[in-house]
A and B are shown apart, each in its own frame.
Chain A
Amino acid sequence: MNMTAVTEHTSLVSVVVDFFRRIGHFIKLMSRNKIGFLGFLLFLSFIFMATVGTYLIEEPTHSDITAIYSPPSAEHILGTDSQGKDIWSQIVHGSTDILKMALFTGVITTFIGVTLGSVSALVGGNFDAFLSMMADIWLTIPQFPLLAVIATLVKLNNILMLSVLLSVLSWAGLYRSIRAQVLSLKERDYVEAAIALDLGLWHTVFHEVLPNMMSYIVISFTFAMRQAIYAQVGLVFLGLVPLTRNWGVMINLAWTQGAIFFRDSIYFIMAPVTAIALFVLSVVWMTRSLEEIFNPRLRTG
């Protein structure tokens, strides 16, 4: 990315122009991979839905007993549920929880994984040996049942807490891949130079190692987001986490009310299911473009 020297005439206009130029450049890079760009656009529309959308679309509080399980119409784009509430509005208002949770978990997991992985690889010795042994062991413990057990012992009614718990539980996978990356980067000349010059662990990690493994970090970030969606929707679907207004809750409601076995309710159950599938796919597809941006060697043509 080009660093233009705009600092000399820092008028507001040039700053704004530069900002848009950078965004334009970013979008151009993103659009090199068609599927990746599609995922990126989908992801942006989910963010739009979760932020602006919740103000544009009325909250799903209004129930209409005369219009139970009505099929899609102009008034109700996706039809109505068992209480005559609009399904589209529930999808829009349910997106905020999922997105927040996915982003929180992505950030916290990446932070834990990157810090532990790079420190462990750079420090080496017994510390490294101990952590990698623990990671190997931790990886064999089935995460979802453990999460389900913890959810019954601790009240997890808060998204941030759930994110932190999820991140702590899934530290091992990311730790392993980051550690392997850092171990291979450690052999490079510039990192050896930084260590030899005794520039300090902090400088070595954040200035020499991390910028060169951004593509791995981005992939790990999106992977953590996927795991977060899986776990959160799963827990909510099983009714183990008392969250309200969320795609998982919609499936859970359809489930517990037996609506899942009712032909007319297909929109009620398929709407959140499709939303979850599309959101996960948007994240997966977007990763392809991001991978190419941060790892120029992957770019073709």
Chain B
Amino acid sequence: MNESTTANKTIPKQESLGYWLKKIYSNFWVQKLARTAFTIWFVTTIIFLLVRLMPSNPIEVYINELILQYGLTYDEARDQAASLFALDLHSPMYVQYFDYLNSLLHGSLGTSLRSPGTPVTSIILKYLPWTLFSVGIGLLISFTVGVAIGMVTAYQRDSWWEPLVSGMASVLSSIPSYIIGIVLLVVLGIYLEVIPVNEMRGSMTPGMQPGFTWEFISDIFFHAFLPIATYVLATSGNWLLTMKSSTMSTLGEDYVTVARARGLTEGRIITAYVGRNAMLPLVTQLLISLGFVVGGSILIENIFVYPGIGFRLLQSLNTRDYPLMQGIFLIITVSVVISNLLADFIYGWLDPRVRVAGGE
């Protein structure tokens, strides 16, 4: 980034293609978009290489399975495998790679091996919304709660309960989320029997009609309660601690002192001066934690038998349903990468400094 700015200063403005390309690339939004596209391409390539070049190549494994189970010849088995994986196994590797990329661009992820004929995309569309719903609501609640309590503890840092709250927050944020989930399930659900865990399984009560009705909305919240509670408990401690230290350092800034000197009300100082600036570093953390939480959903959703994408991913791993596994992993990554992009844009909008300096 520094190179481009110095180049602009020393070299007289020239309207060559290279100059414009550099200028376009140094634009904040273009840069972020290009990085997102590159990341998605990178991940798809990794998946392709993993699935095709691994020593125990899943396609060969599947071909052998077909030969043993149905007594097919190698060619027949290979053709069947090829149609399932949406690959032409006769052509050289690089052609297969471009075919794979091409079919991805057209929105095709192949068909599931274990439920033949079902496209991977339709399976994903069925399970992904539940993960997005539970993780999204969970992070929203934990972010709000963490930021609010974090600010209060920063203001009340001399009180007797501050070490208690911070201590709890540090314990909760250190323990792996699935441990918190298991404890919730075993202690509240099985031992104390205060939560009807068996009724809470699944994403909704069978026979429930989706729609904007109170019954439906309360039902999906009822079923998602334990995953959401786990995400909230596991992540809010971190927000709290970061917000606390960030608020404390913001309180020492000159503009806060000036605002006080100007006689602004404390409420206005808290919201417009301290809170807004103290929250900036948390927005970037939100992006990193999003990937982590979605990744952890494999564990959480399996603990509570909640049919999200993580739950389906484990099923596909256990049944060696490679096209499905490949598709789900890709979708998880793409959703994380795109939410990172969104958060980057939000950050660029909140803090104009990063747009100019190029993010460093």
Contact = CB atoms under 8 A, between A and B. Distances in A.
Contact of B333 (A136, A141, A238, A273): A141
B190 interface: yes
A262 interface: yes
A151 B182 CA distance: 23
B50 interface: yes
Interface stretch (A55-63, A157-165, A229-237): A229-237
A230 B180 CA distance: 12
Interface stretch (A43-51, A71-79, A274-282): A274-282
A131 interface: no
A140 B337 contact: yes
A234 B178 contact: yes
Interface residues on A, range: 35 or more
A142 B190 contact: no
Interface stretch (A16-24, A203-211, A263-271, A292-300): A263-271
B336 interface: yes
B176 A140 contact: no
Given A139-B288, A140-B336, A141-B333, A152 B317 contact: yes
Contacts of B51: 153
B180 to A, nearest CB: 9
A269 B189 CA distance: 13
Dominant secondary structure of chain B at its interface with chain A: helix
A191 interface: no
Given A137-B42, A280-B174, A280-B176, A148 B35 contact: no
Nearest to B175: A277
Contacts of B310: 145
B314 interface: yes
A149 B183 contact: no
B182 A149 contact: no
Given A142-B294, A234-B299, A273-B182, A148 B313 contact: yes
Interface stretch (B53-61, B78-86, B101-109, B218-226): B53-61
Contact of B54 (A136, A148, A153): A153
A143 interface: yes
A276 B299 CA distance: 15
Contacts of B314: 148, 238
Nearest to B339: A140
A140 B179 CA distance: 24
B329 A146 contact: yes
B55 to A, nearest CB: 7
A240 B302 CA distance: 13
A196 interface: no
16 contacts: A137-B35, A143-B295, A145-B328, A146-B329, A148-B317, A149-B329, A153-B56, A233-B176, A238-B317, A262-B190, A269-B182, A273-B179, A277-B175, A277-B179, A280-B175, A280-B176
The 3 closest A-B pairs by CB, nearest first: A142-B295, A144-B295, A284-B174
Interface of A: 133, 136-137, 139-146, 148-155, 226, 229-230, 233-234, 237-240, 251, 260-263, 266, 269-270, 273, 276-277, 280-281, 284
Given A136-B35, A148-B313, 12 more contacts: A141-B39, A142-B332, A143-B291, A149-B317, A154-B56, A155-B56, A238-B299, A240-B317, A260-B182, A263-B190, A276-B179, A281-B174
